[in-house]
Structure 1
């Protein structure tokens, strides 16, 4: 076994997700959040079909029970349709960094939900992790420096709510998908099914609303199409595959912590490469939120 293969895969997955979030945020500002989401899903199912063919020996899953299909469909509607619709709106309103920071609350919400719904005991270090994570996110949200230019007041609050809605959708998605994965069902096959359900739902809505032609025209535009495909390839396809590789070859706690790095990567990128003024509150809050997530996984 290659030394540190899992850790390297986890860090690479974080890089993929940080990069794809920047791409989707940029093109979402040009053609609209939901247009990008629909186009991203279409590109994703294409990339996942090829990846499934290579990894599983066939282009799509053929062994799934009705019960698994039901759970995966519910997971897709909650996460990839409703949750991602909110996340992509947050990308447009808040930018990639703030949106991904709000998405870092997913493990915190998951831990609290498991405590409320499943009576899972929270030990002191996990409570400290939740406190650090929530405190870090709040520190960034209340800081004025580093916000997108011209975004304030009601629009800023709405953007935050969209970001938190995306995180809630992801938590719901993970909890419902877990029931379908019991018994060792392929995570890649589950991802393919969830994505296909989302493609059918999102493009079905577009058909009912008469927006298919407009979406296709926007997605194949030269300054959008290539970036849309690249974002879909890097994030939902390669990023998902790397995350599975990470969990298979590294301690789950270490892998999960490394995969929670996108907000940190994005704040470093904005501060050092783009030379944007992010402010000390944003830096401290992001690091505190990451430490909170790390405490949840590393005990």
Structure 2
């Protein structure tokens, strides 16, 4: 086996998710958050079908029980329909960096829910990680420097709540999907089913509301369509596959910590590449949040 193959896959997955979040944030400001979400789902199911065909030998899953289908459908509604609708609205309002910082609360929420719902014992290290992560996120969202231009007061709070709503949807998605994966069911097949259910629901709603044609026209524009497909391939398809490779070939704690890097990568991108003023407080807070996640996973 290639040395650090799993770790490299985890880091590349983090880069893929950071890149796709920037793409979706940029085009979401042009055509609207939910238009991008619907278009992204359509592109994602196309990419996942090709990936499933290559890796599983057939374009879509054909072996799933009704119980698994039920859990995966619930996971899709909570995560991909409701949660991602909120996340994409956060992308438009807050930008990629702050939105992905909100998503770094997912492992923290998961640890707290495990303690509350399943009586899972939290060690001192894990409790320290939760406190450090929450403290870092609060440090960033309370600061004024580095916020999107013109986003203040109530609208900023709404954007933060959308970001947290996206994180809550992701936690609910992971908990419900876990039941379907018991027994070693293919994670890629589960991802295909969840995405297909979301496509049916989101495009069904668009058809009922008369927004399907408008979505197709908006997403077919040259300056939107190619970026939308690229973002869907990089994030939901390539990123998801790399995350599975990482978990299979590296320590789960190390892989999970590396895959929590997008907020750190995005603050480096904004500060170094775009030369936007992000502020020392944002850098410290983001690193604190990442450190909190690392404490949760690294034992």
* TM-score normalised by the chain length of structure 2: 1.00
Determine whether 1:23 maps to 2:23.
yes
Aligned to 2:11: 11
1:272 alignment counterpart = 272
- SS of the residue corresponding to residue 99 of structure 1 reads helix
Residue 233 of structure 1 deviates from its aligned partner by 0.3
Structure-2 residue corresponding to 1:188: 188
CA distance in 2, matches of 1:108, 1:61: 32
Look up the match of 1:223: 223
Is residue 77 of structure 2 the alignment partner of residue 73 of structure 1? no
Alpha-carbon distance in 2 for matches of 1:219, 1:135: 39
Partner of 1:132: 132
Unaligned runs of 5+ in 2: none
1:120-269 → structure 2 map (5 Å cutoff): 120-269=120-269
State how far apart, in whole Å, the 2-side matches of 1:281 and 1:152 are. 18
Listed one character per residue, the Cα deviations across residues 280-299 of structure 1 (whole Å, up to 9, x for unaligned) are 11000000000000000001
Q: 1: distance between equivalents of 2:233 and 2:118? A: 36
- Taking the TM superposition and a 5 Å limit, the aligned residue runs for 1:83-98 are 83-98=83-98
The gaps in structure 1 that reach 5 residues or longer are none
**Superposed displacement of residue 2, structure 1:** 1.0
1:286 aligns with 2:286: yes
Partner residue, 1:50: 50
Structure 1 equivalent of residue 102 of structure 2: 102
1:23-42 equivalent positions in 2, closer than 5 A = 23-42=23-42
Deviation digits for residues 154-184 of structure 1, max 9, x if unmatched? 0000000000000000000000000000000
Kindly report structure 1 stretches of 4+ aligned residues shifted beyond 2 Å.
none
TM-score by length of 1: 1.00
Cα RMSD after superposing both structures: 0.3
